Amino acid sequence: MTRVWDAGSWKTWIVLLAGLTSQAVSAAKAEEELPRYRLEPGMVLSYTGRTSIKANSDTFFEDQDTTAWVVRRNSDGSRRVVIRVGNRLREAAGPGAGKAPTKGQQLPPMEYSLGYFDLSPDGRLGADAQLGSDFDPAIAFPRLPDKPSAGEWGQRDARTGQEYGYSSLRRGTDGWGFHAERLGPLKRVYTIGFGSDYRFDRGMVVGAEQHFSQEIGVKTKGTGKLELAGVETKNAAWVAAFAPAADRSIAALRAYRKAIQAAAKDAENGASLLADARRKLQAARDATDEPVFREEFDRKLAGHDARAKAYMESAKRRAAVVGKPFPDWSLQGLDGETHSLADYRGRVVVLDFWFRGCGWCIKAMPEIDAVAEKFKGRPVAVLGMNTDAEEEDARFVAEVMGLKYPTLRARGVPEKIDVKGFPAVILVGPDGVVRDIHYGYSPTMGAELTKAIEGLLPRGAKSTRKP
């Protein structure tokens, strides 16, 4: 059949083509003036990396394997990126130490993490992200400058509190280059230096030279490389199948994580909760045909029994403490005052147990500080419970982090209630009874603590302070 085009149809197509051409010209012009991500649905970016780490007299190597799938164009102009990051740490020993692994060499398996985030053309990260607490998309997708004259620019990931400072933007025959420096509390407390010199071309990072050092604690130095190993473009049919499979799989993994965390707080029903979590994880695995998601489910299923055992032990320890009075104590604070638990009767008491060598403790401190500020003027006391042997370590961290709540010297107190991990945040009710325990750090830690504290406040005290 012959199709007849009228003048209106031709005009419509001319307008559409002109619009598309204009968009392409605008994107190219923007790329000339500033580096910008040009990612489209169906693109698959593969990165490899290798880091050499010298820690005291030992040498280690870390291999990285990162794959990013661009699956969606969002209404705000950002792109939804599904990402899988693999890491493998191995010790160098014997002849050939410092070299890449040889063919046939037996290596430990990669440890993978899977998630997603939204990326704007200038590298801003969207609020909707599902990533692990140690998952940093800025390694392969750094923030880009807002204007050509930007001598320095920065980024702070509100989800994790991780900060970066960027500088030295330059344009060469092989694309753009700039320098990144990791900032934030870990840098200040441990005198950590972590820098990257990026190469950016064709709308993406094509490589980076990395260096890092740590002066406090285990003295560490290292160098590494990140390289773009390949770019593949899938068709629309692939995107239509992969994108919803990613959404379903990541949702199932998130539900599994929440379920096992709930089991760790419920000794009575923990076993059944864990069994149900495993069953749902298996069902999600069987429901997907995408190999990358099946592999992730298989890894989780393979480790479930060991994970379930650890969570049940945690639930039993928790049950032995929650609902019981916290043993009284009297401790010296860095403020020179003596503090005792009895002094705070009638208030919700938040006890944050930490020590300087605990990196996750340091990462959690801004969240604890924000909680202290939020409940300022209400019957809530936030206390830092430091367990370092040396007072100078406690004082250094409190000063560097600018903690607004008292820090007490609390060696020996964790043993009274069988604290097994750090950071450990214990909530004591106005009646002096332990009401909740939070172990570890997560991006939602502040929100979870706020909700728990609100639930413990006397009814008349919940709205005494305006938001």
Of 3.40.30.10, 3.40.50.2000, 3.40.640.10, 3.40.50.880, the CATH number of 330-461 is 3.40.30.10
Tokens of 8: 């209106």
Nearest residue to 114 (alpha-carbon basis) of 159, 156, 66: 66
Q: What is the DSSP string of 33-65?
A: HS------TTEEEEEEEEEEEEETTEEEEEEEE
Nearest residue to 154 (alpha-carbon basis) of 177, 115, 122: 122
C-alpha pair distances (Å), 282 with each of 161, 285, 287, 384:
34, 5, 9, 41
359-375 confidence digits (pLDDT tens): 889 989 989 999 999 99
Tell me which amino acid residue 230 is: G
Q: What is the mean pLDDT of the chain?
A: 87
pLDDT computed for residue 217 by the predictor: 72
CATH number of 29-234: 2.30.230.10
CA 5, CA 8: separation in Å to the nearest integer? 8
Nearest residue to 179 (alpha-carbon basis) of 220, 150, 214, 219: 150
Q: Which residues contact 116 (CB under 8 A, 6 or more apart)?
A: 80, 81, 82, 83, 129, 130, 131, 246, 250
C-alpha pair distances (Å), 285 with each of 114, 288, 299, 443:
14, 6, 11, 26
137-183 confidence digits (pLDDT tens): 899 999 999 987 778 999 887 776 788 999 999 999 989 999 999 98
The model carries a pTM of 0.82
Tokens of 328: 């009284």
Half-sphere exposure of 115 (CA within 13 A, CB side): 18
**Residues 436, 452: contact at Cβ < 8 Å?**
yes
pLDDT computed for residue 101 by the predictor: 54
CA 130, CA 135: separation in Å to the nearest integer? 10
List, for the chain, all residue ranges whose pLDDT scores fall below the cut of 50: 1-25, 27, 94-98, 463-467
Domain ranges within the chain, ordered by starting residue: 29-234, 237-319, 330-461
**Residues 207, 226: contact at Cβ < 8 Å?**
yes
Q: Give bridge partners of residue 338 from the DSSP assignment.
A: 332
DSSP state of 429: -
For the chain, state the CA radius of gyration.
26
Tokens of 83: 């990402």
